[in-house]
Chain A
């Protein structure tokens, strides 16, 4: 958890390596067996040229970063808006980073407004967006 919540504070990044095995595990867990994720010969013939990770797998890494930073505040009071900009592929190393843009107070409750992005090893943005976390009153 962040010990100090203040504007401009960077969130601890999360780094994950994507493999086909992880994509297959995510397909099994989620029940999403779209061939673009799990069928290598099918995916090779598409404009993607190979399999891609589920967008929700990439977003799970964003949620992991937010959970590490904000704990319960994120898990039961978080809000996010994410755009999937590029596809993550087996072999990619993804780094999720973010920071607190500003802290707003509404009706005596404070909220941390954060931005986040997930980039691959080439610097391409895979996912980007904003998240809002309800903070406990003692963090005002």
Chain B
């Protein structure tokens, strides 16, 4: 997990969050499947991996109290399945930061790799925050 929090002002295009490592344990997968009301099939659901990546980002950015961050859009591409128990590394960077009226749009690029450094998934998340 990233241990250094950054301020929102530091999030400029090109900024890279410290990579975050997760072990996708059986208990994590079981908890995730219960939350989404799905059954397991012996692998980690791709969106459980995305959830880890997004959690890594949200934990790194301490928002002021009472700030509401809204997930506006998401792009994803899945490259390979990951077995339960695998370790992944999430890399997140700021692609764009756009001021739009009373909102700021933060566009983040996400890449997730497995232990063999093969790409598991990539994506782009747009997060809307009050300016």
Report which A residues bind B (CB closer than 8 A): 16, 22, 25-26, 28-32, 34, 36, 42, 46, 48, 54-57, 59-61, 63-64, 67, 72, 74-84
Contact B74 A26 (CB under 8 A): no
Q: How large is the interface on B (under 10, 10 to 19, 20 to 34, 35 or more residues)?
A: 35 or more
Chain A residues near B7: list those with CB within 8 A: none
Chain A residues near B46: list those with CB within 8 A: 63, 75, 78
The A/B interface has a contact count, at CB < 8 Å, of: 101
Majority-rule SS of A interface residues: helix
Report which B residues bind A (CB closer than 8 A): 28, 31-32, 34-38, 43, 45-48, 50-52, 54-55, 58-59, 66, 68-81
Contact B81 A54 (CB under 8 A): no
Which of A42, A56, A74, A84 counts the most chain B CB atoms within 10 A?
A: A56
Contact A76 B79 (CB under 8 A): yes
B74 contact from A16, A30, A77, A82, Cβ within 8 A: A82
B35 contact from A34, A57, A64, Cβ within 8 A: A57
